[in-house]
């Protein structure tokens, strides 16, 4: 797989595979955790097939996703780039508490704990998971700058941050990458975030590039979710919204079929075609889906293809908010 560069700020640049692997769903968010040995196999298979960029967070579990990734990559650590995140309030027993915590002393403590769980000596990319309104972003950037100078972190990132926050953070410590949701059914970053990143030379890492599975064409209004699957709380995944939004998948599926690719591959190829500094991180727990996603990196869409996709998406307004009201208050600050 070819590589891409996140960030263009000299020592702030980070070279990674054109597609990464989002590991959250292996142990958090989409139902019960998957068998550990199987997930280690998927992670190692991803590396063998050219993926070098792996995404996790302390809150995924909490903690269990980091330890999974740490175990899987321990024998090949130097071949991998690991991104993890801080910023949620979690107690010592691993129970997530309501609220955020990006106080500098907390960031330092989380970094030390992440290093142990990941079984490594440095965190390649350390994101603030959500912007904490109680802590000035300059203090957050300063804390990560200290960690970089101490050799515990290589690169600083932000997740779901607004344009003004990105600029303020970048003035203190160069931001290598911003991670936010971006896909054919959530294009809000195009308004302010992507132009800001381009102006500052910051890379972009879209999570949920397949619309939390919906853009694969495998989900409709009758698809059941596990009780602990967080999509049960997402307005965009009500049965009524799924029924309405299926029109988008049908339209994209027709385009994909003419190119002899899957809807998922079309969605990933579209993202890769937007900017050379965009690196999507689709998640999967299955080897066949991993291979399908990887093949999308070789799909080339012409200007005419992109125009056709644009016309198709414009005809089908997506129904439903992407987060619950409570979660929605944490994004775009």
**pLDDT value for 1:** 93
Residue 230, in any domain of the structure: yes
Asked if residue 333 belongs to a domain, the reply is: no
Q: Is residue 127 part of a domain?
A: yes
The predicted pLDDT at position 119 comes to: 96
**Domain count within the chain:** 1
pLDDT at 214: 98
Indicate which CATH number applies to the domain containing 281.
Answer: 3.20.20.100
pLDDT of residue 279: 98
Secondary structure (H, E, C), the chain = CCEEEECCCHHHCEEEECCCEECHHHCCCECCCCCHHHHHHHHHHHHHCCCCEEECCCCCCCCHHHHHHHHHHHHHHHHCEEEEEECEEECCCCCEEEEECCCHHHHHHHHHHHHHHHCCCCEEEEEECCCCCCCCHHHHHHHHHHHHHCCCEEEEEEECCCHHHHHHHHHHCCEEEEEEECECCECHHHCCHHHHHHHHCCEEEEECCCCCCHHHCCCCCCCCCCCCEHHHHCHHHCHHHHHHHHHHHHHHHHHHHHCCCCHHHHHHHHHHHHCCCECCCCECCCHHHHHHHHHHHHCCCCHHHHHHHHHHHHCCCCCCCCCCHHHHCCCCC
Domain range for 99: 3-328
Q: Is residue 294 part of a domain?
A: yes
Asked, for residue 137, whether it belongs to a domain, the answer is yes
| pLDDT 10s digits, 176-217 | 999 999 999 999 999 999 999 999 999 999 999 999 999 999
Instruction: Give the pLDDT score at 140.
Output: 98
Q: Which residues are catalytic?
A: 60
Q: Does residue 72 lie within any of the structural domains? A: yes
pLDDT under 70: residue ranges of the chain: 9-12, 95-97
- With respect to residue 208, please indicate whether it lies within any of the assigned structural domains: yes
What pLDDT score does 12 carry?
A: 63
pLDDT at position 92: 72
pTM of the model: 0.97
pLDDT at 51: 98
């Amino acid at each position: 797989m070819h590589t891409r560069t996140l960030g263009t700020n000299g020592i702030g640049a980070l070279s990674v595979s054109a597609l990464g692997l989002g590991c959250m769903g292996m142990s958090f968010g989409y139902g019960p955790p998957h068998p550990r040995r199987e997930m280690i196999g998927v992670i190692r298979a991803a590396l063998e097939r050219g993926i070098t960029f792996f995404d996790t967070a302390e809150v995924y579990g909490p903690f269990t996703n980091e330890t999974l990734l740490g175990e899987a990559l321990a024998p090949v650590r130097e071949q991998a780039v690991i991104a993890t995140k801080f910023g949620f309030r979690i107690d010592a027993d691993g129970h997530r508490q309501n609220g955020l915590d990006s106080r500098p002393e907390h960031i330092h403590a989380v970094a030390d704990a992440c290093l142990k769980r990941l079984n490594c000596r440095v965190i390649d990319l350390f994101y603030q998971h959500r912007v904490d309104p109680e802590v000035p972003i300059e203090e957050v950037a300063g804390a990560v700058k200290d960690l970089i100078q101490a050799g515990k972190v290589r690169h600083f990132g932000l997740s779901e941050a607004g344009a003004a926050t990105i600029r303020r953070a970048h003035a203190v410590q160069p931001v290598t990458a911003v991670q936010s949701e971006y896909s054919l059914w959530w294009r809000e970053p195009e308004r302010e975030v992507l132009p800001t990143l381009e102006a500052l030379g910051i890379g972009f890492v879209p999570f949920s590039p397949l619309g939390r599975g919906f853009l694969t064409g495998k989900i409709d209004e009758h698809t059941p979710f596990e009780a602990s699957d967080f999509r049960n709380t997402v307005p965009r995944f009500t049965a009524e919204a799924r029924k309405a939004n299926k029109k988008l998948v049908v339209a994209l599926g027709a385009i994909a079929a003419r190119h002899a690719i899957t809807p998922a591959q079309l969605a990933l190829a579209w993202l890769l075609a937007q900017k050379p500094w965009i690196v999507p991180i689709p998640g999967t727990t299955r080897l066949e889906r991993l291979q399908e996603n990887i093949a999308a990196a070789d799909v080339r869409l012409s200007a005419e293809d992109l125009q056709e996709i644009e016309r198709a998406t414009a005809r089908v307004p997506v129904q439903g908010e992407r987060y619950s009201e409570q979660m929605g208050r944490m994004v775009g600050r």
